[in-house]
């Protein structure tokens, strides 16, 4: 009986404790409820803003595709070299009225195409200006001479490359290479020629391939000061470094032989 009374006396304590605990939990939820509602509201606003932004972007893209801004309005080639300008225009593969995205997606192909066809182009610059205007500009190699073959003149660039599109008129201030039927001899000469200083290049009128029985790399040069030179292709750049010092010592126009050593004699 005593044990039962003790049991009955202890029952109210856990019940009261549980009530107090539940009451505190409810108070905590009621205190945090405004924060939960605010967070939920912010999430909703954020979701609406994201969806609305995506919708606006899609509308703008659709509007751009149907607007004149998506079409190429003009193509401007900023080159001083008229030959190069014509080559670039013919191989650009885009024209006024084409989609601007055609230019963007084919940009690398356009560059490779122009590099392969235009020997004058050193560095190509393709730019989009004012949304749908295309600017084409290039850094160019310059002419250093001409190859005369098959009754035509072919430009030679300062990088040694030859433009095999013949030209109607050539610059008389630049040297002409003639009788080069051997491609091996021609390429070796161009390699040596590029090593010459401009002061000597400007003084050369003509370089003629003139092989002999003992030397298949023999060449004949005619200079603007009236002197003539016989030399070997392989040593041309080295031997020509002595040309001006020898020319100054001559009393009349002479023939200078650079094939073996260096010596000269007056022209007849």
pTM above the 0.75 mark?
no
pLDDT top residue among 80 and 176: 176
Could you give the angle at which helices 12-66 and 2-10 cross, rounded to 10 degrees? 30
Q: How far apart are CA 200 and CA 223, in angstroms?
A: 9
pLDDT tens by residue, 76-87: 988 777 778 888
At 35, list the tokens.
């924060």
Phi, psi at residue 225, to the nearest 5°?
-85, 5
Locus of tokens 């200006």: 129
pLDDT at 239: 95
pLDDT tens by residue, 75-116: 998 877 777 888 888 888 888 899 888 888 888 888 888 888
Model confidence at 2: pLDDT above 50: no
């Amino acid at each position: 009986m005593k044990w039962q009374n003790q049991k009955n006396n202890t029952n109210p304590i856990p019940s009261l404790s549980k009530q107090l605990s539940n009451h505190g939990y409810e108070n905590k939820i009621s205190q945090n409820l405004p924060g939960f509602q605010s967070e939920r509201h912010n999430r909703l606003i954020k979701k609406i803003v994201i969806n609305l932004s995506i919708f606006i972007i899609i509308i703008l893209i659709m509007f751009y595709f149907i607007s004149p801004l998506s079409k190429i309005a003009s193509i401007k080639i900023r080159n001083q070299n008229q030959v190069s300008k014509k080559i670039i225009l013919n191989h650009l593969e885009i024209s006024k009225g084409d989609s601007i995205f055609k230019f963007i997606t084919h940009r690398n192909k356009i560059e490779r195409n122009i590099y392969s066809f235009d020997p004058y182009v050193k560095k190509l610059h393709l730019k989009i200006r004012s949304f749908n205007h295309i600017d084409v500009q290039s850094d160019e190699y310059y002419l250093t001479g001409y190859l005369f073959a098959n009754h035509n003149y072919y430009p030679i660039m300062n990088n040694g490359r030859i433009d095999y599109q013949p030209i109607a008129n050539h610059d008389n201030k630049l040297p002409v290479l003639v009788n080069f039927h051997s491609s091996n001899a021609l390429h070796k000469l161009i390699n040596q020629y590029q090593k010459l200083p401009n002061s000597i290049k400007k003084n050369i009128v003509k370089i003629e391939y003139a092989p002999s029985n003992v030397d298949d790399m023999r060449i004949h040069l005619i200079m603007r000061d009236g002197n003539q030179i016989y030399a070997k292709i392989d040593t041309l750049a080295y031997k020509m470094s002595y040309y001006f010092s020898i020319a100054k010592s001559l009393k009349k126009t002479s023939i200078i032989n650079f094939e073996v050593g260096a010596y000269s004699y007056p022209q007849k």
